[in-house]
A = this chain, B = another copy of it.
Amino acid sequence: MIGKNIVASAYVENVEESFVAFAVATGEALEYKFFNASAKNIDEAVNAAKAAHQVYKKINKHLKASFLRTIAEEIEAIGEVLINRASAESGLPLARLTGELGRTTGQLRLFANLVEEGSWVNAIIDEAQPERKPLPKPDIRRMMVPLGPVVVFGASNFPLAFSVAGGDTASALAAGCPVIVKAHPAHPGTSALVGGAIVRAVEKMGLPKGVFSLLFDSGYTVGAALVAHPEVKAVTFTGSYKGGMALVKLAQERQQPIPVFAEMGSINPVILLPEALDERAEEIASTYAGSITLGAGQFCTNPGLLLAIQSPALQLFINKLVDLIKVVPSATMLTPGICENYQKLSQQILEEQGVELLSVSDALNDAAKNQALASVAKVTATAFLANPKLQEEIFGPYSLLVVAEDLIQLLQVVNVLEGQLTTTIMSAKNELSKYTDLLNRLTDVTGRLILNGVPTGVEVCAAMQHGGPFPATNDSRFTSVGSTAVYRFVRPLAWQDWEDELLPDELKKSNPLNIFRLTDQNWSKA
> Which residue numbers of A lie inside 8 Å of B, CB to CB?
53-54, 57-58, 99, 113-114, 117, 119, 124-126, 134-135, 137-138, 140-142, 145, 148, 248, 252, 256-257, 259, 419, 432-433, 439-441, 443-444, 446-453, 457, 459, 461-465, 467, 469-471, 474-477, 479, 484, 490-499, 501-502, 516, 518, 521-524
Contacts and interface: CB of A to CB of B under 8 A. Distances in A.
Nearest to A245: B257
Contact of A119 (B440, B443, B491, B521): B521
10 contacts: A125-B463, A140-B461, A256-B469, A256-B470, A256-B471, A432-B499, A462-B518, A465-B494, A467-B491, A523-B524
Contacts of A498: 449, 451
Given A463-B142, A499-B432, A135 B457 contact: yes
A248 B256 CA distance: 13
Nearest to A444: B148
A451 B501 contact: no
A491 B419 CA distance: 13
The copy count of this chain in the complex is: 2
A181 to B, nearest CB: 22
Contacts of A256: 419, 469-471
B477 A124 contact: no
A426 to B, nearest CB: 12
A499 B451 contact: yes
A497 B138 CA distance: 45
Contacts of A464: 126, 140, 142, 494
A124 B463 contact: yes
A459 B137 contact: yes
B476 A443 contact: no
B496 A450 contact: yes
Given A135-B457, A449-B495, 11 more contacts: A53-B444, A58-B440, A126-B463, A126-B464, A138-B459, A140-B459, A446-B493, A449-B496, A462-B521, A465-B494, A467-B491
Contacts of A470: 256-257
A119 B124 CA distance: 14
A210 B327 CA distance: 53
A297 to B, nearest CB: 19
Contacts of A496: 448-451, 453, 459
A491 B524 CA distance: 25
Contacts of A522: 516
Contacts of A453: 138, 496-497
B448 A493 contact: yes
Contacts of A450: 496-497
Nearest to A466: B494
A379 to B, nearest CB: 23
A297 B524 CA distance: 40
Contacts of A114: 521
A447 B502 contact: no
Contacts of A459: 126, 137-138, 140, 496
Contact of A494 (B126, B135, B447): B447
B119 A523 contact: yes
Nearest to A450: B496
Contact of A452 (B419, B447, B451, B497): B497
A494 B432 contact: no
A459 B451 CA distance: 44
Contacts of A465: 142, 492-494
Given A470-B257, A491-B476, A463 B141 contact: yes
Contacts of A440: 54, 58
B54 A502 contact: no
Nearest to A122: B484
Contacts of A259: 475, 477
Given A140-B461, A141-B463, A462-B126, A523 B523 contact: yes
Nearest to A473: B491
Contact of A433 (B462, B477, B502, B524): B502
Contacts of A495: 448-449, 451
A432 B58 CA distance: 18
Contact of A502 (B124, B439, B518, B524): B439
Nearest to A452: B497
A106 to B, nearest CB: 12
Contact of A257 (B53, B474, B523): B474
A227 to B, nearest CB: 15
A493 B138 CA distance: 35
A149 B494 CA distance: 29
A501 B119 CA distance: 31
Contacts of A479: 492
B126 A461 contact: yes
A425 to B, nearest CB: 9
A494 B464 CA distance: 6
